[in-house]
């Protein structure tokens, strides 16, 4: 059997390898090993589908929880903002005076108090300092 003679393969199932420059077996596994490998491949395909479905469900749950948390955070910020606005009015400060103390244009305070967007914690903190109120955030364990 001459594996280097390109004119004819030593066995009909062999293929010519350009890489090795000789006839090679396309699959060196025996029939039993080939069946086991195919069974493993089918099992992996089935597991892959189950894993993908689990990942899709986890992503959906994460997205739902994120929306709930974002809504809760926005509600909290708006509640704190409303309390700060009430404190400003009680202290007799105008929006223009608060804007001057915050070193921002009066229109920024008007936009903030209108509730057009959810304010950040740093913005609420600056607003509170401008009206003379202490804003304290605590983590409840």
Give the chain's mean pLDDT.
Answer: 88
- Residue 136 pLDDT > 80: yes
Alpha carbon separation from 61 to 50, 53, 57, 64, 121 (Å, rounded): 17, 12, 6, 5, 27
Residue 126: both structure tokens together: 């600056």
pLDDT of residue 59: 96
pTM of the predicted model as reported, rounded to 2 decimal places: 0.55
Between CA 110 and CA 103 the distance in angstroms is 14
User: DSSP 3-state assignment of 137?
Assistant: coil
- Residue 141 pLDDT > 80: no
- In the DSSP assignment, the letter for residue 29 is S
Between CA 102 and CA 112 the distance in angstroms is 12
Q: Measure the CA angle with vertex 13, ends 8 and 17; round to 5°.
A: 65
CB 32 within 8 A of CB 40: no
Q: Kindly state the average pLDDT of the residues 120-134.
A: 91
Alpha carbon separation from 26 to 15, 23, 35 (Å, rounded): 6, 9, 16
pLDDT of residue 1: 58
Domains located in the chain, CATH noted: 28-131 (1.10.260.40)
**What pLDDT, in 10s, does the model give residues 13-63?**
888 888 888 888 887 778 888 889 889 888 888 888 889 999 999 999 999
pLDDT of residue 68: 92
- Residue 95 pLDDT > 70: yes
């Amino acid at each position: 059997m001459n594996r280097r003679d390109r004119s004819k393969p030593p066995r009909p199932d062999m293929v010519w390898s350009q890489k090795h420059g000789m006839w090679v077996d396309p699959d060196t596994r025996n029939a039993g090993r080939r069946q086991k490998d195919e069974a493993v491949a089918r099992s992996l395909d089935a597991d892959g589908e189950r894993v993908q479905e689990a990942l899709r469900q986890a992503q959906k749950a994460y997205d739902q929880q994120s929306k709930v948390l974002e809504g809760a955070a926005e509600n909290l910020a708006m509640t704190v903002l409303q309390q700060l606005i009430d404190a400003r009015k009680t202290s007799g400060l105008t929006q223009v005076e608060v804007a001057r103390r915050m070193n921002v244009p009066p229109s920024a305070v008007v936009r903030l108090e209108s509730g057009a967007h959810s304010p950040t914690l740093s913005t609420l903190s600056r607003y509170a300092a401008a009206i003379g109120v202490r804003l304290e955030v605590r983590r409840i364990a």
